Amino acid sequence: MKYNLYFICLLLTAFTLKTSERYNCFRPGEIWKDTDGKSIQAHGGGILYNNGVYYWYGENKDSPTHKQHVPVVGVSCYSSKDLYNWKYEGVVLPAVKTDTAHDLHPSKVLERPKVIYNEKTKKFVMWMHVDTRPGYKYARAGVAVSDNPRGPFQYLNSIRPNNAMSRDITLFKDTDGKAYIFHSSEDNKTIYISRLTDDYLQPDGHFKRLFIDQLREAPAVFKHNRHYFIITSGCTGWTSNAARYAIADSVLGEWRMIDNPCRGPKSEITFNTQGTFVFPVQGKKDAYIFMADRWNPQNLSDSRYIWLPLQIRGDSLAIQWLDKWDLSYFRK
């Protein structure tokens, strides 16, 4: 009996070591597991940095239905201090299973959640795309709030910002504290920038239309020095296409479309991915990471994450493919 228990302990130890593997680098496109050894479920996501901790929010696709449209599970949250190893904090905005009319009912659509912090209200504010099936005709932006980055978040309502359709969405908080949602609109023909009120809970009426009739989606926005950058994709469903970036001197100013920033194998299809977010690395100079999803429409829960460093020189932006890299890529 003792002999059997000994080998059982060895097997359990080996299993624990395997599932709690620690990472010390990024391997774009490979399976990425959390500290419990489970595949990370944070698709279409974004990063918030708060009090020394990074929080990764994204769509949880962990559903028994592995098809192009899985039931809404909710928004997952993961936390990390090193960007390599992520602790699962749970589903911080879950589906509402008891109300078929609710925006978050499993039969609906919840995509691309992003979170920012409001210093005035002391609230963490999440915006996301909510929609109905089939047809995605609801085309609204939903908002939720929490007192804690680990949730839970309370869903408030959904709107069409400035009476315009809202599908793919991202949040951007400027250095002056003003916040904006960038959202695909007009049946994805145009991207809107809608400035938010001081509490970040609704548009304040100031907006701008970008890339009119150019069919762009999946906006990812960041600021470097005095320039604002946006990276978008074309509209080809689950099929990857060429990213393009644009630059402006002010958020609601004139944006100048430039080119595809991707460099390397399959750069013409954004490395077989679609962008979702760009965030700065704390403590590093001129260090930004581009986040993208390599969608697997036949099994969305197995869609992979591609994180790559940005190279910025003036108004020139490049994303170079790397099979493996770590934060030493950036200067201090």
User: Any idea where the domains of the chain sit in the sequence?
Assistant: 38-329
Distance (Å, whole) CA 277 – CA 287: 14
Residue type, 196: L
Residue 4: its H or E element: helix 2-19
* Residue 162 DSSP code: G
Q: What is the CA radius of gyration of the chain?
A: 20
Closest of 255, 246, 213, 217 to residue 234, by C-alpha: 217
Tell me whether residue 13 is exposed, middle or buried, using C-beta atoms within 10 angstroms of its C-beta: 0 to 12, 13 to 18, 19 or more: exposed
Distance (Å, whole) CA 283 – CA 81: 12
Kindly tell me if the per-residue pLDDT of 17 is higher than 60: no
Strands 262-263 and 316-320, bridge-based pairing: parallel
Cis? peptide before 134, omega within 30° of 0:
yes
Strands (E), 71-137: 74-80, 87-94, 109-118, 123-131
- What pLDDT is attached to residue 47? 98
* Residue 70 DSSP code: P
Tokens for 218, please give them: 């999946």
pLDDT class of 96 with cuts at 50, 70, 90: very high
Strands (E), 225-282: 227-234, 244-248, 256-259, 262-263, 274-280
Kindly tell me if the per-residue pLDDT of 43 is higher than 80: yes
Determine what percent of the chain is predicted with pLDDT higher than 90: 89
* Residue 252, C-beta contacts closer than 8 angstroms, at least 6 positions apart: 193, 195, 206, 207, 208
Closest of 200, 261, 190, 251 to residue 226, by C-alpha: 251
Kindly tell me if the per-residue pLDDT of 9 is higher than 90: no
Residue type, 218: A
φ and ψ at residue 328, rounded to 5 degrees: -70, -10
- What pLDDT is attached to residue 135? 86
pLDDT class of 332 with cuts at 50, 70, 90: low
- What pLDDT is attached to residue 3? 42
Mean pLDDT, residues 184-198 taken together? 98
Kindly tell me if the per-residue pLDDT of 297 is higher than 60: yes
Pairwise pLDDT comparison (88 vs 20), residue with the higher score: 88
- What pLDDT is attached to residue 255? 98
Mean pLDDT, residues 55-78 taken together? 86
Model confidence over 44-66: pLDDT tens digits?
A: 999 999 999 999 999 999 986 55
Q: How many CB atoms lie within 10 A of CB 202?
A: 15
Q: Which conformational region is residue 37 in: left (phi greater than 0), alpha (psi within -120 to 50 degrees), or beta?
A: left
Question: 38-329: CATH homologous superfamily?
Answer: Glycosyl hydrolase domain; family 43 (2.115.10.20)
Distance (Å, whole) CA 80 – CA 191: 32
Alpha-carbon torsion 313, 51, 90, 39, what sign? positive
- What pLDDT is attached to residue 7? 43
* Residue 245, C-beta contacts closer than 8 angstroms, at least 6 positions apart: 229, 230, 231, 232, 257, 258, 259, 260, 261, 317
- What pLDDT is attached to residue 13? 41
Model confidence over 24-37: pLDDT tens digits?
A: 999 999 999 999 99
Determine what percent of the chain is predicted with pLDDT higher than 70: 92
- What pLDDT is attached to residue 8? 41
Return the residue matching tokens 């689950």: 238
Distance (Å, whole) CA 33 – CA 85: 8
- What pLDDT is attached to residue 18? 47
What is the average pLDDT score of the chain? 93
